[in-house]
Amino acid sequence: MINTQTDVFDVPVAVGTILTVRETNAYDRTFVFRNLTAAQTLNIEVQNSDDGGTTWDTAVAAFNLLPGIMIVKTVVGATYANILRVRASGGGADRDLYLALQRPYLDAAKVWSSPVL
């Protein structure tokens, strides 16, 4: 089953976790990021943890997202992850970032959680 989840997030000025996703499979994931601000450049990074969140590794290297721009990033062959998280900075307004996650499998026990919501 292909599953797509979307939401709009507030991005903090300083680096913070905006989304945590529990994963139980080894399939590729596609993230779509769109900066909804008029003037702020956002910095985005996707990390993974294979030990329940004690240590984090880079899944998608940090990148800058200019105002109004949309970028698609793919996490390929992510056999290691049991948690993915998106970290961001550079925001400050409400509803700064549109984020979509597409994956071919869904763990219905925990779809996703966000410390911002």
Q: What's the pLDDT tens digit per position in 82-111?
A: 788 999 999 987 889 999 988 776 555 555
- Which residues partner with 44 through β-bridges? 63, 88
Euclidean distance between CA atoms 84 and 94, whole angstroms:
23
Query: 79 vs 55, 84, 88, CA distance in Å?
Result: 16, 12, 24
Report if residue 68 sits inside a domain. yes
Report if residue 51 sits inside a domain. no
Report if residue 52 sits inside a domain. no
Report if residue 111 sits inside a domain. no
CATH value at residue 74:
2.60.120
Report if residue 73 sits inside a domain. yes
Full residue range of the structural domain in which residue 67 is found: 3-19+27-44+57-80+87-103
Average pLDDT, the chain: 83
Residue 87 and residue 15 in contact, taking contact as beta carbons nearer than 8 Å:
yes
Mean local confidence (pLDDT), 11-21: 91
User: pLDDT at residue 115 above 70?
Assistant: no
Report if residue 99 sits inside a domain. yes
Confidence of residue 77 (pLDDT cuts 50, 70, 90): low
Mean local confidence (pLDDT), 18-22: 87
If one counts the domains in the chain, the total is: 1
Q: What's the pLDDT tens digit per position in 27-42?
A: 788 899 999 999 999 9
Report if residue 115 sits inside a domain. no
Report if residue 110 sits inside a domain. no
